[in-house]
Amino acid sequence: MKIQVLVLFSILIFASACSRKVTEAGKASYYADKFHGRKTASGATFSQSKLTAAHKSLPFGTKVKVVNRDNGRTVKVRINDRGPFVAGRIIDLSKKAAKKIGLIQAGVANVEIKYKKKKR
């Protein structure tokens, strides 16, 4: 008996040639409490009570606007860690940030993240 597994996820990235503004769409989740007080990839100590997030590739310190596509609520966070390490997810939020956009109950939400590319 063969079992086939198909993993589907989508990440959309929108940018125009003359604009530094970038929008990504995908899933967001938030950090488990066990990470509170641990070091992040940037060297900062992680705190659930700060407005921070993890992204796979954005430079540390990048400020990102996160929009919950289901309810329209927004939060601004600063990237200070790497992740998420789950397929299809584009950002992991601190608990404080997750509360601001109504993510706590669901655990995962469809979001858009908006940020400006740094000048080269």
- The string of pLDDT tens digits covering residues 77-86 is 999 999 999 9
- pLDDT (0 to 100) of residue 18: 54
- The string of pLDDT tens digits covering residues 49-98 is 999 999 999 999 999 999 999 999 999 999 999 999 999 899 999 999 99
- pLDDT (0 to 100) of residue 3: 43
Within a domain: residue 43? Answer: yes
Residue 16 has pLDDT above 80, yes or no: no
- pLDDT (0 to 100) of residue 8: 40
Domain assignment of residue 66, given as a range: 22-116
Of 10-24, 52-66, 93-107, give the lowest mean pLDDT range: 10-24
Within a domain: residue 8? Answer: no
- pLDDT (0 to 100) of residue 20: 79
Within a domain: residue 90? Answer: yes
Total of domains in the chain: 1
Within a domain: residue 95? Answer: yes
Domain CATH code at residue 48? 2.40.40.10
Within a domain: residue 1? Answer: no
Mean pLDDT of the chain: 86
In this prediction, residue 48 has a pLDDT band, given cuts at 50, 70 and 90, of very high
Within a domain: residue 6? Answer: no
DSSP the chain: -----------EEE--TT--EEEEEEEEEE--GGGTTSB-TTSPBP-TTS-EEE-SSSPTT-EEEEEETTT--EEEEEEEE----STTEEEEE-HHHHHHTT-TTTSEEEEEEEEEPPP-
- pLDDT (0 to 100) of residue 112: 97
- pLDDT (0 to 100) of residue 117: 80
Within a domain: residue 102? Answer: yes
Within a domain: residue 107? Answer: yes
